[in-house]
Structure 1
């Protein structure tokens, strides 16, 4: 069975995308899956969280990053290999006395510059925006999709906003998780993001239609805050409407110090249960079950 592609995205930053990617990747791996995390964000937050600064710096120096691959492939028109840029068993977290099977395709600080240069270069060659999109789509189909033979799940940590690679990943993934805090500003931006990719204007601007409606995952949820309760109730009503533009996952990622600490370096390799504590049963297991239900119907 071919592995499933999951994009975690939102136009707004600071809504728990990277936290969600790390937690979900490790939770899926603890459930027995082989997981690849592809970092599409020039801030490289998920790369730092998984590989650490030392390993990431070495990979950047050796050109073992996504932007180095894209520059060789699309700007210099060479034939680089993607696989050597993937770091296997990057997670230090263990489960049942073995490291979690999480691999990483890292990003570096020049990814945004490479994406911008790609647009400039191809535009200079009189490529239309549709032609540029087709170039990136071909790379995605030829290089990323076949990785599903080696991994059960490929998670894309997307950059805030709509970068070229983020848009391709969102349109090409089997599932798009849109992380959002249950407050006014975050959910206002949520509507803008959904209209940009899934709305009628998007259908006219791009020839590549997303595979299904996005699934919203509420993050940093505080049950005791009345405004957040009201916002979640509104999201539930909107998701249940016949013309809904999104689905809403039942799992809520709580505002918890333990989850924030899970992303910080540890002096000794942590166990999966020790790292996430009570959130394993209250958050991560339900989240994995929901994701698998959407993707596999089981």
Structure 2
């Protein structure tokens, strides 16, 4: 990945006021924010829907939220920014993969802030736009991650050293953003890509979204074992901070398989040697939630967008996450 679309004029720090973040980590007076990775080895399990809903629910609750897109499909980026704005950001190199290419492949010193789009959500709450920002992904993220491995291997880096490079980047560039934002949500790619693994290992909380059926939960054990099991010994310095928490999505109460799967997950999560915890909040299968991701001609209000799901799903979910992360 050459990063030729990335030019010096985008590195000057002269950002468009009101559109891109200009704050510096450490200048805010807020308490340290929390990093949350939303992940699953399997795709199609409501991950992006969960990230959008959770980001807007946290922002409606008064938090300042940043969404970091680690999925080359860029689903959460297009849901939040829309096709026009996302296309503009990709063209100007204001994406995660452009940043990674410049920093780790071309050994330049790019600035992360110009790639964060502020006030990206059109949803309003209390007559104000939600305080929601986005660091988008573009279609070449997976290619950049692959080229990164090739490039550093060619420089005689071991895989352990490459992981160390990514870990250092995460600690130096992403963790300090917690001084600006109350919550940083990482929408991880299906499977375990290099950046996904680093985000999962570095997050304060990992949410594993899963439909309560056989196929969706089949890879759960493998995912847990890869990151929290034997992998912990190999990556002792990168060990996750806590066990992952499974969030049931697209739940249909009248489907027997869903009921049986949840009972099994509850039993496994309650075991003494459990590899995961289970959230009590369930994201139902609902057309209204799917429609919430669709673009609208008129900017919606938060309550108008999610309707009864605000009180039935989103408020309980935010409360549960706060209890896990803050103990209150």
TM bucket by the smaller chain? over 0.9
Name 2:245's counterpart in structure 1: 215
Following TM superposition, by how much is the alpha carbon of 1:190 offset from its aligned partner in structure 2, in angstroms? Answer: 1.2
String of CA shifts for 1:81-129, please: whole Å, max 9, x gaps. 0001000000000000000000000000000000000000111111111
Deviations 1:262-284 (A, max 9, x none): 00001100000000000000000
How does 1:1-298 map onto structure 2 within 5 Å? 1-204=31-234, 207-298=237-328
TM-score, length basis structure 2: 0.90
Distance in 1, matches of 2:129 and 2:231, equals 45
8 Å CA contact retained: 1:130, 1:206: no
The structural deviation recorded for 1:258 is 0.2
- Please report how far the alpha carbon of residue 204 of structure 1 lies from its aligned counterpart in structure 2 after TM superposition: 2.2
Distance in 2 separating the partners of 1:205 and 1:293 = 28
Which runs of 5 or more structure 1 residues have no equivalent in the other structure? none
Task: Specify the SS of the correspondent of 1:220.
Answer: strand
Quote the offset at 1:203 in angstroms. Answer: 2.6
Secondary structure of 1:58's match? helix
Q: CA deviation at 1:33?
A: 0.1
Offset at residue 200 of structure 1 (A): 1.7
Over the aligned positions, Cα root-mean-square deviation in angstroms equals 0.8
Task: State the Cα distance separating 1:175 from its structure 2 match.
Answer: 0.3
Residue 9 of structure 2 corresponds to none
Residue equivalent to 2:3: none
Contact 1:40/1:157 (8 A) holds in 2: yes
CA distance in 1 between partners of 2:134 and 2:32 (Å): 18
Partner secondary structure for residue 265 of structure 1:
coil
- Number of residue equivalences: 298
Divergent runs of 4+, >2 A: 201-207
Deviations 1:21-68 (A, max 9, x none): 000000000000000000000000000000000000000000000000
**Higher mean C-alpha displacement, 188-197 vs 113-122:** 188-197
Counterpart contact for 2:57–2:314, Cα < 8 Å: yes
Helix, strand or coil at the partner of 1:267: coil
TM-aligned CA distance change 1:60 to 1:220, over 3 Å: same
Contact persistence 2:211–2:251 (CA under 8 A)? yes
Quick check: 2:232–2:238 contact (8 Å CA) kept in 1? no
